[in-house]
A and B are shown apart, each in its own frame.
Chain A
Amino acid sequence: MPFYLEVIVCVSLLIGSVFLLIGSYGLVRLPDIYMRLHSPTKASTLGITGILIASMVFQSHLKGFLSIQELLITLFLLITAPVAANMIAKTALHQRIKSLDKTQNQELMEVIRDRETPSTPKDPT
Chain B
Amino acid sequence: MLSWTIIIVAVCICVALILNLWRLLKGPTISDRILALDTMYINAIALILLYGIYVKSALYFEAAVLIAMLGFVSTAALCKYLLRGDIIE
Q: Which A residues have a C-beta under 8 Å from some C-beta of B?
A: 1, 6-7, 9-10, 13-14, 16-18, 20-21, 23-25, 27-28, 33, 36-37, 40, 44-45, 47-48, 51-52, 54-55, 58-59, 62-63, 67, 69-70, 72-73, 76-77, 80, 83-84, 87-88, 90-92, 94-95, 97
Cβ of B53 within 8 Å of any chain A Cβ, yes or no, is: yes
Residues of A within 8 A of B52 (CB): 55, 59
Q: Contacts A6-B2, A73-B68 given; indicate if A62 touches B45 (C-beta within 8 A).
A: no
A80 to chain B, nearest CB (A): 4
A95 touches B31 (CB 8 A): yes
Question: Which residue from chain A places its CB closest to the CB of B29 in the assembled complex?
Answer: A97
Beta-carbon contacts of B8-49 to A below 8 Å, as 1s and 0s? 110011011101101100000111101110110011011001
- Of B1, B42, B75, which is within 8 A of A87 by CB? B75
Residues of B within 8 A of A17 (CB): 8-9, 12-13, 16, 46
Q: Is the interface of B mostly helix, strand, loop or mixed?
A: helix
B16 to chain A, nearest CB (A): 4
How far, in angstroms, from A16 to B49 measured CA to CA in the complex? 12
13 A-B contacts (beta carbon < 8 Å): A10-B2, A13-B6, A16-B46, A17-B8, A17-B9, A20-B46, A27-B36, A33-B32, A40-B35, A48-B45, A51-B49, A73-B64, A87-B79
Residues of B within 8 A of A73 (CB): 45, 61, 64-65, 68
Q: Which B residues have a C-beta under 8 Å from some C-beta of A?
A: 1-2, 5-6, 8-9, 12-13, 15-17, 19-20, 22-23, 29-32, 34-36, 38-39, 42-43, 45-46, 49-50, 52-53, 56, 58, 61, 64-65, 68-69, 72, 75-76, 79-80, 82-83
B10 to chain A, nearest CB (A): 8
Question: Which residue from chain B places its CB closest to the CB of A97 in the assembled complex?
Answer: B29
A94 touches B83 (CB 8 A): yes
A27 touches B82 (CB 8 A): no
